A and B are shown apart, each in its own frame.
Chain A
Amino acid sequence: EDQVTQSPEALRLQEGESSSLNCSYTVSGLRGLFWYRQDPGKGPEFLFTLYSAGEEKEKERLKATLTKKESFLHITAPKPEDSATYLCAVQAGDSWGKLQFGAGTQVVVTP
């Protein structure tokens, strides 16, 4: 059975204090790994898609990396506006169109 585990569950950072979020997965043939950001009361907002081990993608202060068993979302010099829940999702090779989400990491960045 496909599984996605995110850690930590919650993370409190000072502004400018860089950190990483982890998404470990077990799937039968990865088609893609997706990162989303979700603000309170809103739907998930797409950030990145990674398809193969070794791939990296960046957007502003965020950088996502992928290995064969896990993905990391690095937040460099975060600002308060980076506060959100970050969700990781995988799509398995035999699950056309279906995303399996982790429970998310809630990030709070204080000034």
Chain B
Amino acid sequence: EAGVVQSPRYKIIEKKQPVAFWCNPISGHNTLYWYLQNLGQGPELLIRYENEEAVDDSQLPKDRFSAERLKGVDSTLKIQPAELGDSAVYLCASSLDGGSDTQYFGPGTRLTVL
């Protein structure tokens, strides 16, 4: 069974440029998560989707970050404009449902903002 797919794996951009990350969750998983992981730290939740509804986006910096999950499957996370402090790994995860279901992570996208 295919795992969570993310692209691109790496992205280098200049500050103030826009950037987008794409995630395809495990087939049949209704819940999708976007996490941010800084070097030497654990992942931090940015947003959680139940199907196509964003049910927890309290940690998403809404002035520059946006996300969507069309048709309740794939999701895109966008940053516009990017800042130096946005350099990090952006992880996508999915689970069958929310609650205490196991979350399975993708390989992440490493973003470097110059």
Contacts and interface: CB of A to CB of B under 8 A. Distances in A.
Given A96-B98, A97-B98, A98-B56, A46 B44 contact: no
B86 to A, nearest CB: 19
Contact of A51 (B31, B41, B91, B100): B100
A54 interface: no
B105 A45 contact: yes
Given A43-B107, A97-B56, A103 B40 contact: yes
A44 B110 CA distance: 14
B12 to A, nearest CB: 15
- Of the listed residues B41, B43, B104, the one surrounded by the most CB atoms of chain A closer than 10 A to its CB is B43
Interface in B69-92: 91
A32 B95 CA distance: 15
Contact of A99 (B4, B45, B108): B45
Given A42-B107, A43-B107, A98 B45 contact: yes
A44 B56 contact: no
Interface residues of A, number: 24
A49 B100 contact: yes
A89 B106 contact: no
Contacts of A51: 100
A3 B73 CA distance: 32
A52 B5 CA distance: 32
A34 interface: yes
17 contacts: A4-B42, A31-B99, A36-B105, A43-B105, A43-B106, A43-B108, A46-B102, A46-B105, A97-B33, A97-B48, A97-B99, A98-B48, A99-B43, A101-B41, A101-B44, A104-B40, A104-B41
